[in-house]
Amino acid sequence: MDGLIRQFRVAYAATNGEQLAETLNPSIQAHSAKLRAIWGRGDHRSMASDLNFLFHQDQARFSVRLSKEETSGWLAIYTAYWKVVGEILAAEGLISSPQSSWARVYDAWKEVTLLTVRGYTNHDFENWTIPCLYVTGKYLRLFAMRADAERGLSNDDIDMDDLKDDFDPQAEEHKSLEDCARHLNRIFQVCASDRAPLEESRKWGVYYAVNLLFKTYFKLNSEPLSKNILRAISAGRSDIPPIDKFPKSQQVTFKYYEGVLAFLEENYVEAEKHLEMAWLMCHKGAQRNLELILTYLIPCRLLTTHTLPSPRLLEPFPRLQKLFMPLARAIKKSDLRAFDVALRDGEDEFIKRRVYLTLERGRDIVLRNLLRKVFIAGGFEEAKDGAAPVRRTRIPITEFTAAVQMSSGEAIDSDEVECLMANMIYKNLMKGYIAHERGFVVLSKSGAFPGTKV
């Protein structure tokens, strides 16, 4: 413990929040030797004696003296942290323990999180230390997911015939993560409610806490709770520093989730704005994040500007290539059958990514392109008295019907085609009217298909 507290003293003397937070980092992958050294022989009495000496009787070695309240708060945190280290080493199989589990790790880390939050409300922790809240919140979420995954595996081994109405496995599926969300919301409240001047306020931790909540709520399929957070941010925006003053990583994450929430509400113009900002700010080496952004930005662009992704754009993203290029080719070729096949082949993945219903609307763009081809193939009417030729605007419905049948590979009657065309006119994808009794469609002489230069 002496080495850990030495790091604590150095960070505290330098008022370096990131360095201080690193002393609480529980990652076994990054700090295996450090965690083993902290745990030592696992003697609780020895650990308590060491910490008590280092914090209370050895204050002379601090270049900056802590108040009694601060000392009490940090002592409690590092005592709880020592217990977590033991649980992590046991869960990873690095020390023997008959009761090791990630649920125990989660419960122990939750205590560290509660004590850290309490440090700001009860023990006068200074606001430059808020990276400690980042670390506790981040690993609370990760340990919650591991605990839930472990619980799911144990549930698979239970004979469900014996459970009957006594146990609902769905209720247990995200038990730890749901509990985690409540504590992350507490971290958000601690940051958002600070009344100190902005230059030394905990409000600089707001977007980190919000982003953790977004990730948690999406994992729980509780997007409406994310909207509550957005409303809280919007209501207190005058008291929170502008988002462009925060680290870019936090800006990108926030804009991504803000865009996805607008997307799920079918506000595609707003979604495109936020997702494009996230795309432009995202680090070009963060391939996974760029892929997530494109997953929603591509369908947005398809509906708002009828823009298709280019092969060059999707080249670094094989999974997106497989999903979106067949749809893009079908739209370019005006091939209804190919579009339906591509949508069906990717259905499971599209539903999982929440973009299926939006992409389904792309069929209107395929149909619009097909009807446009029929219009162009109709040629021009005979010019009169030397006037410039004008495209034929009175087109028999039978010509459109034949085109739809050829493109879809299915038999379809003219009445159904009329319904499709009426829908195109209603959505402003085509300008004109249907003369049902005469069996004609009369298209506008200028801009018959808005946005296509025809």
How would you class 419 by CB atoms within 10 Å of its CB: exposed for 0-12, middle for 13-18, buried for 19 or more? exposed
DSSP 243: G
Report how far apart the first and last C-alpha atoms of the chain are (Å, whole number). 76
Predicted pLDDT of residue 79: 92
Cβ contact 394:444 at 8 Å: no
Report the helix count and the strand count for the chain, using DSSP H and E. Answer: 22, 3
Could you tell me the mean pLDDT of each successive run of 10 residues in the chain, 454 residues long? 82 90 91 88 82 71 74 91 93 85 94 94 89 95 93 60 40 84 94 86 92 94 89 84 92 95 94 96 94 96 92 93 94 94 94 93 93 89 72 90 92 91 93 90 88 73
Secondary structure (DSSP) of 84-106: HHHHHHHHTTSS--TT--HHHHH
Cβ contact 450:369 at 8 Å: no
> Which residues touch 53 (CB under 8 Å, ≥6 apart)?
none
User: Which is it for strands 440-443 and 432-435: parallel, antiparallel or unpaired?
Assistant: antiparallel
Predicted pLDDT of residue 67: 83
Sheet holding 394-396, edge to edge: 394-396, 440-443, 432-435
Cβ contact 280:261 at 8 Å: no
In this prediction the pTM is 0.87
Q: Which helix (H) or strand (E) holds 434?
A: strand 432-435
C-alpha dihedral sign at 408, 414, 418, 419: negative
Cβ contact 272:280 at 8 Å: no
Predicted pLDDT of residue 158: 41
> Which residues touch 5 (CB under 8 Å, ≥6 apart)?
51, 54, 55, 78
